[in-house]
């Protein structure tokens, strides 16, 4: 057993080739399979972390909580346009 709490299996390359499906099943159960060549680890099969699926957002959660002043989206006056389109740092 490793320090992370997952079980580890050491297998040789030939065994991994002939029983690959069996080792994939074990990996799906959370086990880590280390493949060895001449008793030296060369590869690992480990589970892929599953992405968490977020619940769809519910529309209208902020309804009535957000507002703006009357006329906030009216066209700008000529003076406001000059200020808006004018230089960033006036002289």
Kindly tell me if the per-residue pLDDT of 43 is higher than 90.
yes
H/E element, 80: helix 78-85
The structural domains of the chain, ordered by start, are: 8-45 (3.40.1620)
Print the SS3 string covering 29-55.
Answer: CCCEEEEEECCEEEEEECCCCCCCCCC
Q: Does pTM surpass 0.75?
A: no
pLDDT at residue 82, rounded to an integer: 82
Q: What is the pLDDT of residues 62-77, one digit of tens each?
A: 888 988 889 889 998 8
Phi, psi angles (nearest 5°) of residue 81: -65, -40
pLDDT at 62: 87
User: Among residues of the chain, what percentage have pLDDT more than 70?
Assistant: 90
């Amino acid at each position: 057993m490793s320090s992370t709490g997952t079980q580890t299996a050491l297998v040789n390359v030939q065994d991994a080739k002939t029983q690959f499906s069996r080792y994939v099943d074990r990996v799906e159960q959370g086990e880590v399979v280390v493949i060895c060549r001449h008793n030296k680890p060369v590869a690992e099969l480990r589970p892929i972390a599953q992405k968490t699926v977020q619940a769809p957002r519910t529309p209208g959660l902020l309804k009535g909580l957000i507002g703006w002043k009357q006329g906030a989206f009216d066209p700008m006056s000529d003076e406001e346009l000059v200020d808006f389109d004018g230089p960033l740092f006036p002289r």
